[in-house]
């Protein structure tokens, strides 16, 4: 607890869909197995692709990604970031981004527990 | 008991023929499932239910109108006397259905061209007129010896050869394809299909899976369409020639279109292969009874190869938004196949005729011209009138929202169920769960995002 000072952080990572399994493994190893996953589309440094419909090409600059949200209190956010970055990396453009945000409060719906206990 | 063995040959023959005709009618009917899936896959997810509804109504409204009027008009145009199906003999109760499934195939082609912007009432109005008059005139002049294009008809006897369209390559498919193109031209393109400078944008459909499923369902039904146009008793080598030619042409159509897309873009486009398979079938439909085996390869291949080229011409030159490519698939492929008969005709077939290849071509050419002229004229007139009275197209707002919600009030792919509690309308809610119905959206009220109506009678 001391190394996180009771703060709650949300780590939001946008990564390649086929790296989801590795990221889940990495998060489990670092002790933060709870997560939320969403299918998202976005653009960053990855070059645009060519789509095709009845022989005609069109540009697809929004790439399929998954967004992983992981809220932590007793695990340092930096550890979670490192775990995700290591698991999701291929070295090619389009590996994604990771953001860390502060979380004001948290409630566990089942128990009503608040704050770091809820996480 | 051995009753079947005691039946006389004539009775047995009638039973076999009736069974055959009913079987192929059911197969051809099943093509509507194919058309529904093919078209649903090629439109955007916001217009799927609209496309499916049009396909359902094409059959339901169309077959009803054909039963009461169309079948009679077909006989009137072909023989000079109107025949009312319910008043006829029981044999006509089968034959009208056989005619109806061909008629409805022509009708349903049009819905693919006008997808995503035609008003439902406009489409249904056109379907009624197509089933009652436009198609029966085409089949009447083509499929009766005494019809305009028949051996004893005015044009047929003048040329000395009848218009030879076996299963409807021009009568059904080119008619439907050209009607679709005409209607799409009058309607104008979907919003966003063309830029101000005239360049085209691609609007991908929502499901290649459905498009390919529909394609193969259509191909299955097509065996009824082509092979089923032949009688089964005493058909000689015709039956085998049709089954063989239909299969080979379909295969070559798919390969031809796939090859062109490969050459053009370096990739084998799935939808081009699927569309090409159908174009190959359309190409052989007028002539499967007469084409030599190598003729089926040639006709199918040409029908497939022309598909990407004609589609691009329609899109980039004519600037007509033919959503499901019905003109290259049904229109031009049907016309080309019909006109290629003198080139690909089997020697055995030619030997049995009283006329040669030149007269044969003239008869085919005249048939195509007459049928296309009538189809363009009638279709252009109907859609032109609908457009003039403002009933052809949905409003831009409805088009952008999607025809599923705006025309039918349904959501083809609902993300959330309806049982998710209170509904909000533009940020305002009522605590009884009802949507605010009045138009009072003054700033003071809308600023309160979750204002509750505590004076509601139900509270």
Average pLDDT over residues B254-268: 94
Same domain, B385 and B428: no
pLDDT in tens, A89-103: 999 999 999 999 999
Closest Cα partner for B376 from B388, B387, B384, B366?
B384
Chain A residues touching B265 at Cβ < 8 A: 52, 55, 57
In this prediction, residue B83 carries a pLDDT of 86
pLDDT in tens, B392-438: 999 999 999 999 999 999 999 887 766 666 777 777 776 555 555 55
Chain B residues touching A57 at Cβ < 8 A: 202, 265
Mean per-residue pLDDT over chain A, rounded = 92
CA distance B405 to B395: 13
Answer whether residue B5 shows pLDDT above 70: no
SS3 B87: helix
Tokens of B257: 């279109």
Same domain, B45 and B136: yes
In contact, B30 and B216? CB cutoff 8 Å: no
The residues facing A103 across adjacent strands are: A8
Same domain, B382 and B432: no
In this prediction, residue B424 carries a pLDDT of 76
CA distance A115 to B215: 57
In this prediction, residue A108 carries a pLDDT of 95
Same domain, B219 and B346: yes
Same domain, B434 and B301: no
In this prediction, residue A51 carries a pLDDT of 85
Mean per-residue pLDDT over chain B, rounded = 91
Residue of B nearest to A57 (CA): B202
CA distance B39 to B403: 14
- Of A49, A51, A55, which to mutate for an interface test with B (greatest number of B Cβ within 10 Å)? A55
Average pLDDT over residues B102-131: 97
Average pLDDT over residues A64-79: 95
Domain region containing B431: 422-459
CA distance B352 to B173: 27
Same domain, B386 and B242: yes
Instruction: Identify which of B204, B264, B312 has the shortest CB distance to residue A53.
Output: B204
In this prediction, residue B431 carries a pLDDT of 58
pLDDT-above-90 percentage for chain B: 83
Domain-located, residue B2: no
Chain B residues touching A56 at Cβ < 8 A: 200, 202
Domain-located, residue B3: no
Instruction: Identify which of B200, B205, B308 has the shortest CB distance to residue A55.
Output: B308
Beta-carbon contacts of residue B208 (< 8 Å; ≥ 6 apart): B41, B270, B271
Same domain, B432 and B390: no
- B418 half-sphere exposure, CB direction, 13 A CA radius: 3
Chain B residues touching A52 at Cβ < 8 A: 265, 267, 269
pLDDT band at B176 (very low <50, low <70, confident <90, very high): very high
Cβ contact (<8 Å) for B201 and A58? yes
Give the ranges where B340-394 is alpha helix by DSSP (H): 341-344, 347-351, 357-388
Answer whether residue B459 shows pLDDT above 50: no
- Of A52, A56, A57, which to mutate for an interface test with B (greatest number of B Cβ within 10 Å)? A56
- Of B42, B202, B215, which to mutate for an interface test with A (greatest number of A Cβ within 10 Å)? B202
Cβ contact (<8 Å) for A56 and B202? yes
CATH of the domain at B82: 1.10.3430.10
Residue found by looking up tokens 């990221």 in the block: A23
In this prediction, residue B115 carries a pLDDT of 97
Closest Cα partner for B102 from B189, B224, B8, B19?
B224
Same domain, B166 and B261: yes
Answer whether residue B330 shows pLDDT above 80: yes
Domain-located, residue B7: no
Same domain, B266 and B186: yes
CA distance B219 to B278: 7
Same domain, B196 and B66: yes
CA B202 to chain A, closest CA, distance in angstroms equals 7
Answer whether residue B245 shows pLDDT above 90: yes
Domains present along chain A, CATH in parentheses: 9-102 (3.30.70.120)
Answer whether residue B29 shows pLDDT above 80: yes
Instruction: Identify which of A51, A55, A58 has the shortest CB distance to residue B261.
Output: A55
CA distance B50 to B56: 10
CA A19 to chain B, closest CA, distance in angstroms equals 26
Looking at B135-139, B249-253, B264-268, which range is the least confident one?
B264-268
Domain-located, residue B353: yes
In this prediction, residue A82 carries a pLDDT of 97
**Which residues from B are below 8 Å from A when comparing CB atoms?**
200-205, 260-261, 264-265, 267, 269, 271-272, 275, 308, 311-312, 325
In this prediction, residue B418 carries a pLDDT of 62
Same domain, B139 and B264: yes
Chain A residues touching B269 at Cβ < 8 A: 52, 54-55
Domain-located, residue B332: yes
Domain count, chain B: 2
pLDDT in tens, B53-74: 999 999 999 999 999 999 999 9
In this prediction, residue A6 carries a pLDDT of 77
Answer whether residue B350 shows pLDDT above 80: yes
Same domain, B427 and B393: no
pLDDT in tens, B280-317: 999 999 999 999 999 999 999 999 999 999 999 999 99
Domain-located, residue B1: no
Answer whether residue B444 shows pLDDT above 60: no
Average pLDDT over residues B201-220: 96
Cβ contact (<8 Å) for B269 and A57? no
ipTM of the complex in this document: 0.72
Average pLDDT over residues B165-173: 97
**Strands (DSSP E) found in A16-107:** 36-42, 49-53, 56-60, 63-72, 96-103
Cα Rg, chain B, nearest whole Å: 25
pLDDT band at B47 (very low <50, low <70, confident <90, very high): very high
Chain A residues touching B205 at Cβ < 8 A: 53
Domain-located, residue B6: no
Domain-located, residue B360: yes
Cβ contact (<8 Å) for A54 and B264? no
């Amino acid at each position: 607890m001391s190394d996180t000072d009771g703060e709650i952080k949300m780590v939001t990572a946008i990564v390649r869909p086929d790296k989801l399994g590795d990221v889940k493994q990495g998060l489990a190893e670092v002790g933060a197995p709870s997560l939320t996953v969403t299918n998202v589309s976005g653009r960053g440094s990855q070059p645009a692709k060519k789509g095709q419909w009845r022989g005609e090409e069109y540009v697809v600059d929004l790439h399929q990604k998954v967004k992983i949200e992981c809220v932590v209190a007793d695990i340092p956010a930096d550890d979670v970031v490192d775990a995700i970055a290591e698991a999701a990396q291929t070295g090619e453009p389009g590996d994604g981004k990771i953001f860390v945000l502060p979380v004001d409060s948290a409630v566990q719906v089942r128990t009503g527990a608040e704050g770091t206990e809820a996480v | 008991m051995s009753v079947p063995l005691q039946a006389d040959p004539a009775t047995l023959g009638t039973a076999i023929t009736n069974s055959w005709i009913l079987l192929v009618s059911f197969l051809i009917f099943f093509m509507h499932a194919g058309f529904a899936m093919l078209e649903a896959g090629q439109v955007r997810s916001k217009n799927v239910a609209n496309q499916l509804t049009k396909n359902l109504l094409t059959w339901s409204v169309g077959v009803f109108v054909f039963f009461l009027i169309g079948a009679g008009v077909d006989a009137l145009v072909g023989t000079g006397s109107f025949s009312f199906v319910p008043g006829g003999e029981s044999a006509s109760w089968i034959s009208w259905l056989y005619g109806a499934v061909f008629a409805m195939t022509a009708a349903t082609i049009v819905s693919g061209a006008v997808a995503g912007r035609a008003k439902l009432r406009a489409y249904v109005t056109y379907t009624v007129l197509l089933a009652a008059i436009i198609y029966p005139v085409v089949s009447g002049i083509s499929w009766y010896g005494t019809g305009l294009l028949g051996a004893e008809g005015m044009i047929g006897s003048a040329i000395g050869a009848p218009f030879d369209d076996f299963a409807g390559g021009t009568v059904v498919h080119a008619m439907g394809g050209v009607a679709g193109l005409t209607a799409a031209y009058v309607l104008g393109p979907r919003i966003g299909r063309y830029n101000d400078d005239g360049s085209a944008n691609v609007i991908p459909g929502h499901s290649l899976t459905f498009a390919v499923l529909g394609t193969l369902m259509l191909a299955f039904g097509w065996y009824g369409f082509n092979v089923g146009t032949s009688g089964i008793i005493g058909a000689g080598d015709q039956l085998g020639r049709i089954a063989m030619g239909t299969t080979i042409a379909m295969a070559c159509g798919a390969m031809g279109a796939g090859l062109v897309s490969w050459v053009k873009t370096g990739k084998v486009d799935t939808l081009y292969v699927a569309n090409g398979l159908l174009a190959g079938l359309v190409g052989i439909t007028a002539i499967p009874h007469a084409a030599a085996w190598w003729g089926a390869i040639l006709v199918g291949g040409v029908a497939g190869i022309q598909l990407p080229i004609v589609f691009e011409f329609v899109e980039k030159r004519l600037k007509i938004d033919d959503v499901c490519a019905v003109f290259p698939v049904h229109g031009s492929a049907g016309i080309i196949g019909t006109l290629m008969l003198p080139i690909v005709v089997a020697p055995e077939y030619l030997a049995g005729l009283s006329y040669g290849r030149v007269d044969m071509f003239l008869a085919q050419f005249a048939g195509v011209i007459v049928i296309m002229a009538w189809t363009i004229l009638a279709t252009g007139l109907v859609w032109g009138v609908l457009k003039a009275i403002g009933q052809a197209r949905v409003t831009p707002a409805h088009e952008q929202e999607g025809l599923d919600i705006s025309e039918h009030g349904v959501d083809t792919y609902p993300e959330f169920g309806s049982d998710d509690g209170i509904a909000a309308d533009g940020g305002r809610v009522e605590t009884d769960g009802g949507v605010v119905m009045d138009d009072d959206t003054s700033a003071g009220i809308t600023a309160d995002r979750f204002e509750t109506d505590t004076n509601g009678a139900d509270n």
